[in-house]
Chains A and B, each alone.
Chain A
Amino acid sequence: MPTLTIDGKTVHAEHGTFLLAACRKAGIDVPTLCEHPAVEPYGGCRLCVVDVTRPEWDGWCKMVVACLFPVEDGIVVHTRSQRVLDTRKVVLDLLLARCPETPLIRDLAATYGIATTSYVKNPVPTDCILCGLCTRVCDTMGMSAISSVDRGAGREIAPPFRGPPPACIGCLACAEICPTGFIKAESGLRKRRIWEKDFDMLRCPECGRSHITVAQADFFAGRGGVPRSYFETCDVCKRAALAATATRLGGPPATPAR
């Protein structure tokens, strides 16, 4: 088990994990914007930069992003050195110029002492910080319905050809993971609309609540041998049915059923 020192604290980290987890284990707050447990680390926001050194490096440090740096035995980590704080400030200052009205960015910048950006404010303020969480979660779900398009300053998140995304099943994973609420969706009893695409909702045969889209049920039906009917019943009713069964049988069975 690799043992490292983070801001003076000794931390035992799991082998094969990244530095960010070790920092959190030690109770040290490292800011992040593009990190989420549901998706692979990305290293795009650059807020989780920390300095890494070793006693034998004679004071030389390398700056890494904690979300992607694999833990190593014996490293010494400084999460709040002056140059780390300065770098985070530049990043937040730049993000504040891009998203001057976004509460998440304004609050985070304020904790680093930045009230207004020192750069040129985006004439068309946006809430999209290009953290890539939406596209990565869409990839993880297996759809890849949206992606980043263009590059550099022109980069944005969009469906193919900016029309309704053909592969989208309306699962809302992108909207729910979006840290700034930039991705908008409308869900009603019968309809859902996201990325300018309309979906019919599927209503639970037990309670009548509309809980997923028809396209979602179609997409997941048959996967892993699970029948479509499983996805049609809502989670609440499934749990209720399970609870009722357990109660009828008088608690969980003592021996596994044959």
Chain B
Amino acid sequence: MRIESLEQFGAAVEAARQAHLAKGREIWVCCGTGCLANGSKAVAEAFDARIASEGLQASLGLYHKATGCHGFCERGPLVVIQPEGLLYAKVKVGDVPEILDKTVARGEVIPRLLYKDPTTKQAIAKYDDIPFYRHQTRVAMRNIGRVDPGDLDDALAHGAYAGLAKALSTMTPDQVIAEIEASGLRGRGGAGFATSRKWKACRKARGDRKFVLCNGDEGDPGAFKDRSIMEGDPHSVVEGMIIGAYAIGAHEGYLYVRDEYPLAVVNVGKALVAARERGLLGANILGSGFDFDLKVSRGGGAFVCGESSALMRSIEGRTGEPRAKYVHASDKGLFDLPTNLNNVETWADVGAIIAGGGAWFAGWGTQKSKGTKAFSLVGKVKNTGLIELPMGTTLRHIIYDIGGGILKDRPFKAVQTGGPSGGCLPADKLDLPVDYEILADNGSMMGSGGMIVMDDRTCMVDVAKYFLKFLSEESCGKCVPCREGLKQMLLIFDDLCTGKGKGGDIERIERLCKGMQLGSLCELGKSAANPVMSTLRYFRAEYEAHIDHKACPAGMCRDLTSYEIVEEPCTGCHQCVKVCPTEAIAGKAKQKHVIDPAKCISCGACFDVCPEDCIRFTARNGRKEAAHAHADH
């Protein structure tokens, strides 16, 4: 039923809330991408089938819904039982009858399915007591994991579109911009430009036809916050965009969604249809006289399309390549008309800011970086997943308190923030508060909010090479420094990692980095040198070891590493033999094993499984030495 006025909106929200409260108990099954990959769809279907076959909706007042990402992807599939707030982790289809019979029907907790804290080894029953969740503050992700992304009424019951109703009924466009200014909101895509300034510039721009765009082309390795927002709570993004369009004076918009995010494309599309049916989108929104409509534009599979000017070319149907931005998009953007582009997370924040007030949002954060920020925490950390925290939280708090520390309690080496355009920060930067300026001053950046944690078994030269490889594949190739520079840089890094580095390589790298930073056309090319510059800044000795001693101190570059089993602790447990892909390890049970250097490919699989920690690596190329020895005979 279409909502024709603000009064009707209030009534619809109240009805949705009552309907929600009337549900006695609810089971939330996470159907975010991580949990889906672990089989949560089958779990959700099993709940559906059993609730229907046993008539539990009538007898227990039990409802079930498939929600977006709960964030704790490491432990998926996740199931939350409300109103108790119980969290069951790694749930399988076979657990479904037991959960319904014991927990739902009789209120018994199933200890086996509870989350166990890796440090204290204690089982924690309640969602809100788990450190991973307890330390978080969610604004952009306020409803992810709580609402069914395909059910607009569920979203309304959880406060969706309240900010829009407030903006349309009580605020002028200038007041909306002033509220955003008071919140201190800055672009969550990474560059951190003040959102209110961007909106103001676009509002002032001449012309009747303007656009608002949403950048959902998140493509950094290890980043998935925008994906989870679009998949789990698309209405928050839609609401933000309508408010933004109202403030700017735009009546058309596009959601540019990465096509490799099929669930996001579907859920965003469904949200637009639902919002349009209910009069939240389209002509005369909520009877206010304001018209605005949105279309989904699917990305064409290029990382560079996340760059604003390339994104606009892509929506226009042209090749997604950046162009010079000496004239701002607020004057000449999409189709050369005034355009305002914001990131998914920025848009998701807007509705909450208008509803809660700018001062409320600005209550978190540092002097220049306000509010909360979503991060995807990945890499060698115990609790990988999606988190949202106040700005100014230290890296240590994120990695150790929320992330639960490094896997296998190995030493922390570095954290990569900001994706391929960001940088690596070493252990002595762990107490830095996360803030746009502080990260930039230390050679990294906020970027897309990806945080890749690395332990001592990570070679920083190899990490830089990984990002260079990614970027050289994703460079559009329009300008010389980025296209040719990345290609040449990668060739130098190939040499470094295979023991062919030579004196003067570091200077050549530095000169090339500078040329790319100054000479490239777009920010992708300008920042492509960042992973190299930051690893060189903090781990120069590791580069020098690769060049001067042909050694990889972390034991990761295969051509520079040999493995051997030391005498003493080896118990002959045979585990290394089982994982060795080339059958290079031999030895009788309960006797010391030996690695054949001629067969060993230095993959390190044995090192990772050895329970006695008796495998050592040395900075040598065992295969080459063995081959030479063979040739000599």
- Chain B 289-339 residues near chain A, CB threshold 8 A: 302, 304, 319, 323-324, 326-327
Interface string of B500-538 (1 = CB under 8 A from A): 000000001001101110111100000000000000000
A98 in contact with B481 (CB, 8 Å):
no
Contact A44:B478 (CB < 8 A) given known A70-B326, A90-B512: yes
Cross-chain pairs A/B with CB under 8 angstroms, 24 sampled = A43-B324, A44-B478, A44-B479, A44-B521, A46-B519, A49-B518, A69-B326, A87-B514, A90-B512, A91-B481, A91-B519, A94-B515, A95-B480, A97-B488, A118-B508, A119-B488, A119-B508, A132-B478, A151-B476, A152-B475, A152-B476, A152-B486, A153-B484, A155-B477
Q: Does A148 lie at the interface of the complex (its beta carbon under 8 Å from any beta carbon of B)? A: yes
Given A90-B511, A130-B477, also A153-B521 (CB < 8 A): no
The answer to the question of A7 belonging to the interface, with a C-beta cut-off of 8 Å to chain B, is: no
Nearest to B489 among chain A residues (CB) is: A119
Interface of A (DSSP majority class): mixed
**Does A147 belong to the interface (CB within 8 Å)?**
yes
Residue in B327, B480, B520 with the greatest tally of chain A CB atoms within 10 Å: B480
Please report whether the interface of chain B is mostly helix, strand, loop or mixed according to DSSP: helix
CB proximity of A30 to chain B, nearest CB, Å: 14
* Cβ contacts under 8 Å, A70 to chain B: 326-327
Q: Residue B474 at the A interface, CB < 8 A?
A: yes
Residue in A43, A63, A147, A151 whose CB lies within 8 Å of B477:
A151
In the complex, chain A residues 84-105 whose Cβ is within 8 Å of any chain B Cβ:
86-87, 89-91, 94-95, 97-98
Of B477, B512, B518, which is within 8 A of A152 by CB? B477
Please, which residues of chain A bring their CB within 8 A of the CB of B326? 64, 68-70
Check: A65 CB closer than 8 A to any chain B CB: yes
Does A154 lie at the interface of the complex (its beta carbon under 8 Å from any beta carbon of B)? yes
Total number of residue pairs linking A and B with CB closer than 8 Å: 107
Interface residue B623 (Cβ < 8 Å from any Cβ of A): no
Tell me the smallest distance from the CB of A85 to a CB of chain B, in Å.
Answer: 11
Q: Which residues of B contact A151 (CB under 8 A)?
A: 302, 304, 474-477
Which residues of A lie under 8 Å from residue B319 when comparing CB positions? Answer: 147-148
Does B449 lie at the interface of the complex (its beta carbon under 8 Å from any beta carbon of A)? no
State whether A45 and B480 are in contact (beta carbons under 8 Å apart), knowing that A69-B326, A90-B515, A153-B475 are contacts in the complex.
Answer: yes
A94 to B492, CA, bound (A): 13
- Residues of B contacting A124 with CB < 8 Å? none
Q: How far is the CB of B86 from chain A (nearest CB, A)?
A: 49
Is A191's beta carbon under 8 Å from chain B?
A: no
User: Contact between A43 and B512 (Cβ–Cβ < 8 Å)?
Assistant: no
> Is B135 an interface residue when CB atoms closer than 8 A count as contact?
no
Q: Report Cα–Cα, A98/B487, bound state, in Å.
A: 10
A239 at the interface (CB under 8 A from B): no
Contacts A68-B324, A86-B515 given; does A46 touch B488 at CB 8 Å: no
B521 touches A46 (CB 8 A): yes
**With A and B bound together, what is the CA distance between A46 and B520 in angstroms?**
7
**For chain A residues 64-90, which have a beta carbon within 8 Å of chain B?**
64-65, 68-70, 83, 86-87, 89-90
Selected contact of B483 from candidates A42, A86, A153, CB within 8 Å: A153
Whether the pair B519, A43 counts as a contact (CB closer than 8 A) is no
Min CB–CB distance A100 → chain B (angstroms): 12
CB-CB under 8 A from B480, the residues of chain A are: 44-46, 91, 94-95, 130
Q: Which 9 pairs of residues, A with B, have the shortest CB-CB distance?
A: A90-B515, A155-B477, A94-B484, A152-B475, A68-B324, A153-B487, A119-B488, A87-B519, A46-B519
| A95 cross-chain contacts in B, Cβ below 8 A | 480, 484
Tally of B interface residues using CB under 8 Å = 34
Complex-state Cα separation, A107 to B514, whole angstroms: 24
Q: Is A257 among interface residues, defined by CB-CB distance under 8 A?
A: no
Query: Once the chains bind, are A83 and B487 in contact (CB under 8 Å)?
Result: no
Contacts of B478 in A (CB 8 A): 42, 44, 132, 155
* B514 neighbours in A (Cβ, 8 Å): 86-87, 90
Contacts of A46 in B (CB 8 A): 479-481, 519-521
The residue of chain B having its C-beta at the shortest distance from the C-beta of A46 within the complex is B519
A120 within 8 A of B: yes
For A132, list chain B residues within 8 Å (CB): 478
Q: How many residues from A make CB contacts under 8 Å with B?
A: 35
Check if B521 sits within 8 Å of A91, measured CB to CB.
no
Contact of A153 among B304, B481, B486, B508 (CB under 8 A): B486
CB contacts (< 8 Å) of A49 on chain B: these are: 518-519
B249: A residues at CB distance < 8 A: none
In chain B between 360 and 408, which residues have their CB closer than 8 angstroms to a CB of chain A? none
Assembled-state Cα–Cα distance A72/B520 (Å): 22
Between B324, B483, B519, the greatest number of chain A beta carbons within 10 A of the residue's beta carbon is seen for B519
Interfacial chain A residues near B511, Cβ < 8 Å: 86, 90
Tell me whether B7 is interfacial, beta carbon within 8 Å.
Answer: no
User: Digit string of B29-60 for contact with A (CB within 8 Å is 1, else 0)?
Assistant: 00000000000000000000000000000000
> What residues of chain B lie closer than 8 Å to A43, measured between beta carbons?
323-324, 479, 521
Given contacts A91-B519, A118-B508, contact A152 B479 (CB under 8 A): no
How many Å lie between the Cα of A90 and that of B518 in the bound state? 10
Q: How far is the CA of A98 from the CA of B481 in the complex (A)?
A: 12
Chain A residue with Cβ nearest B304? A151
B473 in the interface (beta carbon within 8 A): yes
CA–CA, A77 to B544, complex, Å? 40
Chain A residues in 8 Å Cβ range of B479: 43-46
Contact B483 A152 (CB under 8 A): yes
Give 1 or 0 for each of A152-166: 1 = CB within 8 Å of chain B CB.
111100000000000
Q: A44-B479, A94-B480 are in contact. Are A152 and B515 (CB under 8 A)?
A: no
